[in-house]
C-alpha cells in the first residue's frame, strides 16, 4: 500500500480498508495520537474495555512479548489491536536483529491482528524517507501502510483554523485566521487560542481580526508596533488595549514610557514628512521613485526614505492629522516625558501619564 500523508485536514476515510500493520510517524505528534485513536475506534468498541487491545512501550517491553500480544486471538472484537510506542528504537543499529525479526513477524501476522508502531520524530513528511528500517517499512507496506503525520503551516493551518471554528458553530474570518496563524505557533497552540476566542465571543457567531487582537498574545515587539499604528490611525480604544498589553510585557513603567515616547516621536516625524511631500505634489504611490531625487531635503533622522514601502499606509494616517495637531502631538510627548521624570506637573503614576497621552494623541482637534 502507498504511504499515507496525513494532515489535520485529511478526510477520515484513510483507514479504508483496515490493514494488519501500521507505522505512525512524522512531525505532528498530536496528529499521530489522533491517528492511533482513529485506528482504535475503528477496531475496538468502547464498551469492551481493554479485552482486545494493549499499549506497550518498545523501550521496556521485549520484542517477543510484543509479538505474542499481537498474535493473540481477539475475545470480542474482530481484531486484536496492539499499539507499540517508542518504536523508533528499532531503527537503531544495536536493534538491527530485533528489526529483522519484527519484519518477518509482520509479514506473518494473522488476519485478526492489527499492530501499530508509533515512531516519534522520524519519517517526516517525505514519502521516500525511511520510517524505521527498509525491511520493516517494506513488511508494513505489504499488509498495511506507513502513515506520515505532517504538520500544517501557512495557508493550510489557516484552513484548519477556519474548519475548527466552524465545527464549534463559529465563522472565523479569513484575515482573522491568517492573523491567528502568522505567529509561528503549531496546531496545538492555534487550537488553544481558538478555544479562548470561542469562549470570548460567546453567542456571537463571527470571529474577527479585532477579536484575535484582543485575545491572543503576541510577541512584545509586535504589540508595541501595533500600538504605534493604532495611535497613528487615531484608534483610541485599540490603542488603550494595546498599551495595557504592552505593559504586561514590560513590568517597569519608566522603560515602557521611554520606548513608547521614542517610537511615537519617530512616527510623528514620518507622518509630517508624508504630509509635507503630499503638499508639494509628491503622492504616496510616487514616493519610492521620488526619494532618490529629494536628497538632502529629507531629514537625516527618521527619514521616510528608508520606509518608502510604507508610504501608502502613512499617507492614510497623515490625512487624519493637521499640521497644528502634529506640532501639538510633539509637545505632548515632551510634556509626558517631563512628567514621568518629575520635571513637570502631572501624575506620579507613569502608566496614568501614558494613558492620558494616548487618549490626547488619538483625539482629533
Q: pLDDT tens digits for 138-159?
A: 999 999 999 998 888 778 888 9
Residues paired with residue 118 on neighbouring β-strands, in sequence order: 24
Spatial separation of the C-alpha atoms in residues 185 and 219, rounded to whole Å: 12
pLDDT of residue 14: 85
Per DSSP, helices labelled H in 6-130 are: 29-43, 63-70, 96-107
**H or E element, residue 57:** strand 53-57
Q: Which residue has the cell 480498508?
A: 17
DSSP per-residue codes, 211-276: HHHHHS---HHHHHHHHHHHHHTT-HHHHHHHHHHHHHH---HHHHHHHHHHHHHHHHHHHHHHHH
* 145-149 and 4-6 beta bridge pairing: parallel
* Cβ(103)–Cβ(139) below 8 Å: yes
Q: Bin 46: left if φ > 0, else alpha if -120 < ψ < 50, else beta.
A: alpha
DSSP single-letter state for residue 10: S
CA distance readout (Å), 217 to 63, 231, 233, 242: 46, 20, 22, 11
**H or E element, residue 6:** strand 4-6
Answer whether residue 263 shows pLDDT above 90.
Answer: yes
Spatial separation of the C-alpha atoms in residues 303 and 247, rounded to whole Å: 28
* pLDDT tens column, 172-188: 998 888 888 866 667 88
**H or E element, residue 332:** helix 323-340
Spatial separation of the C-alpha atoms in residues 249 and 222, rounded to whole Å: 11
Average pLDDT of span 18-37: 90
Residues paired with residue 56 on neighbouring β-strands, in sequence order: 84
Return the number of other C-beta atoms located less than 10 Å from residue 254's C-beta.
Answer: 11
* pLDDT tens column, 48-73: 656 788 999 999 999 999 999 999 99
DSSP three-state, residue 327 = helix
C-alpha cell at 238: 485599540
Spatial separation of the C-alpha atoms in residues 25 and 120, rounded to whole Å: 6
Residues paired with residue 22 on neighbouring β-strands, in sequence order: 116, 145
CA distance readout (Å), 340 to 169, 223, 246, 335: 48, 22, 17, 9
C-alpha cell at 274: 508624508
Average pLDDT of span 325-335: 93
Query: Is the pLDDT higher at 129 or at 160?
Result: 160
Domains of the chain, residue spans: 4-149, 154-215, 220-362
C-alpha cell at 106: 509482520
Q: Does domain 220-362 have CATH number 1.20.272.10?
A: yes
* Cβ(344)–Cβ(337) below 8 Å: no
Question: How many Cα neighbours within 13 Å face the side chain of 158?
Answer: 13
Per DSSP, helices labelled H in 121-215 are: 134-143, 154-167, 174-181, 187-201, 209-215
What is the strand order of the sheet 80-85 is part of? Answer: 4-6, 145-149, 21-26, 113-118, 80-85, 53-57
Spatial separation of the C-alpha atoms in residues 197 and 168, rounded to whole Å: 11
End-to-end CA distance of the chain: 71
The pTM of this model reads 0.57
4-149 and 220-362 share one fold: no
Fold for 4-149, please state it: Rossmann fold (3.40.50)
* pLDDT tens column, 63-114: 999 999 999 998 888 899 999 999 999 999 999 999 999 999 999 999 999 9
Q: What is the Cα 313 distance to its own chain's centre?
A: 26
The pLDDT-based confidence of 289 (bands split at 50, 70, 90) is low
pLDDT of residue 106: 95
Pick the CATH number of 154-215 from 3.30.200.20, 1.10.3720.10, 1.10.8.60, 3.40.50.720: 1.10.8.60
Average pLDDT of span 191-200: 90
Amino acid at each position: 500500500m502507498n504511504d499515507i500523508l496525513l494532515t489535520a485536514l485529511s478526510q477520515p476515510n484513510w483507514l479504508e480498508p483496515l490493514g494488519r500493520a501500521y507505522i505512525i510517524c512524522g512531525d505532528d505528534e498530536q496528529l499521530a495520537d489522533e491517528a492511533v485513536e482513529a485506528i482504535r475506534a475503528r477496531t475496538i468498541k468502547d464498551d469492551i474495555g481493554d479485552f482486545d487491545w494493549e499499549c506497550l512501550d518498545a523501550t521496556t517491553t521485549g520484542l517477543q512479548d510484543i509479538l505474542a500480544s499481537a498474535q493473540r486471538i481477539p475475545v470480542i472484537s474482530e481484531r486484536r489491536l496492539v499499539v507499540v510506542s517508542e518504536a523508533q528504537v528499532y531503527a537503531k543499529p544495536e536493534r538491527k536483529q530485533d528489526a529483522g525479526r519484527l519484519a518477518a513477524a509482520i509479514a506473518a501476522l494473522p488476519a485478526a491482528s492489527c499492530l501499530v508502531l508509533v515512531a516519534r520524530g522520524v519519517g517526516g513528511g517525505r514519502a521516500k524517507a525511511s520510517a524505521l528500517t527498509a525491511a520493516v517499512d517494506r513488511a508494513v507496506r505489504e499488509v498495511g501502510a506507513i502513515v506520515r503525520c505532517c504538520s500544517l503551516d501557512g495557508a493550510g493551518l489557516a484552513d484548519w483554523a477556519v474548519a475548527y471554528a466552524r465545527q464549534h458553530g463559529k465563522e472565523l474570518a479569513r484575515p482573522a485566521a491568517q492573523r491567528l496563524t502568522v505567529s509561528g505557533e503549531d496546531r496545538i497552540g492555534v487550537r488553544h487560542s481558538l478555544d479562548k476566542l470561542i469562549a470570548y465571543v460567546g453567542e456571537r457567531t463571527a470571529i474577527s481580526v479585532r477579536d484575535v487582537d484582543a485575545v491572543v498574545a503576541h510577541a512584545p515587539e509586535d504589540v508595541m508596533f501595533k500600538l504605534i499604528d493604532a495611535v497613528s490611525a487615531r484608534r483610541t480604544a485599540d490603542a488603550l488595549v494595546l498599551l495595557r498589553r504592552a505593559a504586561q510585557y514590560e513590568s517597569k513603567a519608566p522603560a515602557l514610557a521611554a520606548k513608547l515616547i521614542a517610537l511615537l516621536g519617530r512616527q510623528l516625524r514620518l507622518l509630517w514628512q508624508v504630509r509635507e511631500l503630499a503638499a508639494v505634489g509628491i503622492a504616496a504611490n510616487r514616493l519610492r521613485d521620488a526619494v532618490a531625487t529629494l536628497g538632502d531635503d529629507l531629514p537625516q533622522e527618521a527619514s521616510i526614505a528608508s520606509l518608502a514601502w510604507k508610504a501608502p499606509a502613512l499617507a492614510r494616517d497623515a490625512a487624519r492629522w493637521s499640521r497644528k495637531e502634529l506640532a501639538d502631538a510633539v509637545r505632548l510627548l515632551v510634556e509626558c516625558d517631563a512628567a514621568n521624570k518629575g520635571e513637570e506637573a502631572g501624575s506620579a503614576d507613569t502608566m496614568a501619564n501614558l494613558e492620558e497621552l494616548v487618549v490626547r494623541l488619538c483625539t482629533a482637534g
